[in-house]
Amino acid sequence: MTVRTDRQADRRRQILEAAVHVFAKNGFHTSRVGDIAEEAGIAYGLVYHYFKSKEELLETIFRDTWTQMLERVREVESSSVPAREGVRQVTALLLRTWRRDPDLVRVLVREVTRSPHVQREIEEIGHAMKALEAIIRRGQEGGEFAPDVDARFAAVVWYGALDEVLTGWVLGQLPDKDGDIAEAERNIVALLVDGLAVRP
Partner DNA sequence: AATGAATGAGTTTTCATTCAT
Partner DNA sequence: TATGAATGAAAACTCATTCAT
Binding site for DNA (CB under 7 A): 4, 7-8, 11, 30-34, 42-46, 48-50, 52-55
Q: Which of 77, 136, 138, 181 binds a second copy (CB under 8 A)?
A: 136
User: Quick one: 43 or 149, whose CB is closer to DNA?
Assistant: 43
The distance of closest approach from Cβ of residue 15 to a second copy in the complex, given in angstroms and rounded to an integer, is 21
Closest approach of a second copy to the CB of residue 105, in Å: 12
Query: Of 148, 159, 150, 104, nearest to 126 (Cα)?
Result: 159
Residues 151, 157: Cα–Cα separation, whole Å: 10
Q: Which of residues 28-47 bind a second copy (CB under 8 A)?
A: 28-30
Q: Is 84 in the site for a second copy (CB under 8 A)?
A: yes
Residue 109, contacted partner among DNA, a second copy, none, CB below 5-8 A by kind? a second copy
Backbone phi, then psi, for 30, in 5-degree steps? -80, -15
The string over 20-36, giving b where at least 16 C-beta atoms fall within 10 Å of a residue's C-beta and e elsewhere, is: bbbbbeeebeebebebb
Contact 114, 106 (CB under 8 A): no
* Pairwise CA distance, residues 87 & 95, whole Å: 12
Judged by beta carbon distances under 5 to 8 A according to partner kind, the member of DNA, a second copy, none in contact with residue 168 is a second copy
Residue type at 82 in one-letter notation: P
Q: Assess contact for 136 and 154: CB atoms under 8 A.
A: yes
Q: Which stretch binds a second copy (CB under 8 A): 33-41, 57-65, 72-80, 121-129?
A: 121-129
Measured between alpha carbons, how far is 52 from 152 in angstroms, rounded to an integer? 37
**Residue 85 engages a second copy in binding (rule: CB under 8 A):** no
Residues that bind a second copy (CB under 8 A): 26-30, 83-84, 87, 106, 109-114, 116, 122, 126, 129, 136, 139, 143-146, 148-150, 152-154, 156-157, 159-165, 167-168, 171, 173-174, 183-184, 187-188, 190-200
